Chain A
C-alpha cells in the first residue's frame, strides 16, 4: 500500500512537471496568458485530475460525474493543459491557445471545451455555481461531489460570501472549495491591496469546515481531498498555501508575473529548471 502510494506521488510529480513545461510553452507561443496563477494552481489541478475527480473524458456529460469549477478562469493555461493531458481534447490543440477561432480562448467556455463545467473569467462567479451544483446533488441524494477552485484575490468579490452563506445554510457537504492562497493578486500582495486575513477564521465563521494545506505538497493535498467532507453537514474549505509562479525561480512569489509573457531566454531557463527539479 505504501509502495503504491509512493508510486502515485511519483506519477503526480511527473505529471505536474509535464503540465508546467507545456503550460510555459503554451503562453510563450500565444504571447499571452496568466503564468503566475497557472503555476500556483498546477499542483492542485494535478492532484484533482490525476487522482481525485471521478470523471471520464469519454463521457464528459455523465450526470453522475464529479464537477470541477474553475472560478479563477484566467488560469486557463494550466486548465486547458490539464484537460488535454486528461484526454478531454487532443493535446495538439493546445498550440491554438488564444489564436483566431480557437475554442481555447483566454477564459474557459463550457459550450466550447469538453470538461469545462461553466464559463468563467469574471471573478466571484465559480463558487455560487458550485453551490447550485452541490445543491442539485444533495436534492438527488447523489454521490457526486463538486470541487471549486478560487483564487485568493477574487475573494474580494462579495458574491463569494453570498455563496459561502448559502453553502453553509443548505448544509452542502458535497461541496469542496479550494482556495489558491498565493497571496498575490494582479500586481500587488492581497494583504496590501484589500486584506483577506484572518482567512481561515472567516470561513469557519461562515459555517465551513476548514483545513490549511501546503498547496504544492501532493501528498498533503491528496490526504485532504480523501478526508472530505471534513465535517458531515458542512461544506469543506481547503486553504492551499501556494506561491505564484511556483516551479520557476525567477517567477516564484513575484508580483511581476501575473500575466507577463516569458521571452525566449526566460522560457529556456524556466524549462531547464523544471527539467532538473526533483
Chain B
C-alpha cells in the first residue's frame, strides 16, 4: 500500500511557502494552532500568526478587516465551529463584502468521530455553497491540498477550503494540476460514474477496482471544487455513463450530491444514488466506523454503483 498522508500536511507546507514569498500572508486561528498545523508557521513567522482565542465570529471579522488592510489572511479552525458559529460573518463580512480571505476548515466531516455530532461538520458545504460569491474547495489528497492552498491565494475573493484529517494515499499522478471549478477524471469508464469529493475519492477509486472485477467499468471524478461546480463534467457523465453515484463525507442534503443532482435534473436526468450522512446525527463511533456504518467505504460505494447500474439497465430512473 502506498504511503498515506493527512491533507493538513499539504496545507501547512504550501501556506509556509506562500508566506515565504509574500509578506502579506498572515494566518489566524481560534485557539487551534496545533490542529490547524500552524506550529511551523508560528516558528518561522511569529509576528504573522494571530490566535484570536475561542471566538469564531471575531476570527472572521478580523480576517475581513486584515484583507481590507491589504493582507492575505488564512483563517483556520475546526470546520464545525468555523462555519457554523460564524456563518453570518462569512456571508456578510466575506462573501457580500468580497473579502479576499481563505477559510481553512480543519477536521471536516466526521473526523472527530466519537466526540459526537456537535463536533461533526456535515452541513458546512451546504451552508457555504448557498452563499453567493463563495468558492468551496474539497481537495482529495495532501498533494492536491497544497495546490488548492496556492489556488485560494491567487483567487480574488473568499474561499472555503475543506480539509480532512483522515490520512489517504496520493490519488493523482505527479503531473496533476488543480484548477478551481474543474474536475479531475481519475478513471475512465462508461457504465456508471462515481463522483466523490475530499478523502472519499480514494475510496471511490477502490470501489471502481472492485467493480471492474464484476465487469462494471466506473468512471471516477474527483470533484475537488463543489462551488463553482464543473457542470460540463457532470452532464458528460450523465450522457456517457447513464448512472451516477455521489460520495461525500457530508449530509446528503445540500452538499456534493445535491449540487450534482441540480445539474443532472436540469440537463440529462439519469439514475442517481447519493451516498453521505442520510439526514441524521451520526451515532457514536470512530471516523472509520461511522463512514463504514453509512456505506461510505469501498464496499458501500461498490454496492451503490451496482444498484444504479442495474436501475439504468432496467430503464428505471
Query: Which label, helix, strand, loop or mixed, suits the secondary structure of the A interface?
Result: helix
CB-defined contacts of A130 to chain B, threshold 8 Å: 65
Q: Given the complex of chains A and B, what is the CA–CA distance between A165 and B47 in angstroms? A: 19
Contact B50 A135 (CB under 8 A): yes
CB-defined contacts of B69 to chain A, threshold 8 Å: 67, 132-137, 139-140
Contact with A along B52-77 (1 / 0, CB 8 A): 11010110111111111111010000
Task: Name B88's contact: one of A122, A127, A132, A162 (CB within 8 Å).
Answer: A122
Query: Which label, helix, strand, loop or mixed, suits the secondary structure of the B interface?
Result: helix
Residue of B nearest to A109 (CB): B96
Give, as a whole number of angstroms, the nearest-CB distance from B267 to chain A.
31
Contact A162 B57 (CB under 8 A): yes
Task: Name B97's contact: one of A111, A124, A139 (CB within 8 Å).
Answer: A111
Residue of A nearest to B47 (CB): A139
Task: Name B65's contact: one of A111, A129, A158, A159 (CB within 8 Å).
Answer: A129
Q: Is A121 an interface residue (CB 8 A)?
A: yes
Q: Is B48 an interface residue (CB 8 A)?
A: yes
CB-defined contacts of A162 to chain B, threshold 8 Å: 52-53, 55, 57-58
Binds B, one of A26-34, A112-120, A212-220: A112-120
Most buried by B among A63, A146, A159, A165: A159
Q: Given the complex of chains A and B, what is the CA–CA distance between A120 and B52 in angstroms? A: 22
Once A137-B69, A139-B26, A139-B71 are accepted as A-B contacts, the answer to whether A132 and B92 lie under 8 Å apart by CB is: no
Residue of A nearest to B86 (CB): A159
Contact A131 B65 (CB under 8 A): yes
| A-contacting residues, B159-215, CB 8 Å | none
Contact A119 B92 (CB under 8 A): yes
CB-defined contacts of B58 to chain A, threshold 8 Å: 128, 131, 159, 162-163, 165-166
Q: Is B93 an interface residue (CB 8 A)?
A: yes
Task: Name B64's contact: one of A63, A129, A137, A169 (CB within 8 Å).
Answer: A129
Once A63-B70, A129-B68, A162-B55 are accepted as A-B contacts, the answer to whether A119 and B89 lie under 8 Å apart by CB is: no
Q: Given the complex of chains A and B, what is the CA–CA distance between A35 and B48 in angstroms? A: 42
CB-defined contacts of B71 to chain A, threshold 8 Å: 136, 139
Q: Given the complex of chains A and B, what is the CA–CA distance between A218 and B277 in angstroms? A: 60
CB-defined contacts of B114 to chain A, threshold 8 Å: none
Shortest 5 CB-CB contacts between residues of A and residues of B: A132-B65, A136-B69, A128-B61, A162-B58, A132-B62
Residue of B nearest to A111 (CB): B98
Q: Chain A, interface size: which category? A: 35 or more
Q: Given the complex of chains A and B, what is the CA–CA distance between A137 and B67 in angstroms? A: 11
Q: Given the complex of chains A and B, what is the CA–CA distance between A135 and B24 in angstroms? A: 12
Taking A109-B96, A121-B92 as known contacts, 14 extra A-B pairs with beta carbons closer than 8 A to each other, sorted by chain A number, are: A67-B69, A118-B65, A119-B93, A119-B96, A122-B88, A125-B93, A128-B58, A129-B93, A131-B62, A159-B89, A162-B53, A165-B53, A166-B52, A166-B62
Residue of B nearest to A129 (CB): B65
Chain A interface (Cβ < 8 Å from any Cβ of B): 63, 67, 109-111, 117-122, 124-125, 127-137, 139-140, 146, 158-159, 162-163, 165-166, 169-170
CB-defined contacts of B70 to chain A, threshold 8 Å: 63, 136, 140
Q: Given the complex of chains A and B, what is the CA–CA distance between A158 and B47 in angstroms? A: 27
Residue of B nearest to A126 (CB): B61
Contact B89 A125 (CB under 8 A): yes
Give, as a whole number of angstroms, the nearest-CB distance from B106 to chain A.
20
Contact A132 B57 (CB under 8 A): no
Once A120-B92, A125-B89, A135-B66 are accepted as A-B contacts, the answer to whether A110 and B53 lie under 8 Å apart by CB is: no
Q: Given the complex of chains A and B, what is the CA–CA distance between A32 and B63 in angstroms? A: 33
Contact B98 A132 (CB under 8 A): no
Task: Name B61's contact: one of A67, A125, A158, A165 (CB within 8 Å).
Answer: A125
Q: Given the complex of chains A and B, what is the CA–CA distance between A81 and B71 in angstroms? A: 30
Contact B64 A118 (CB under 8 A): yes
Q: Given the complex of chains A and B, what is the CA–CA distance between A131 and B26 in angstroms? A: 15
Q: Given the complex of chains A and B, what is the CA–CA distance between A22 and B50 in angstroms? A: 43
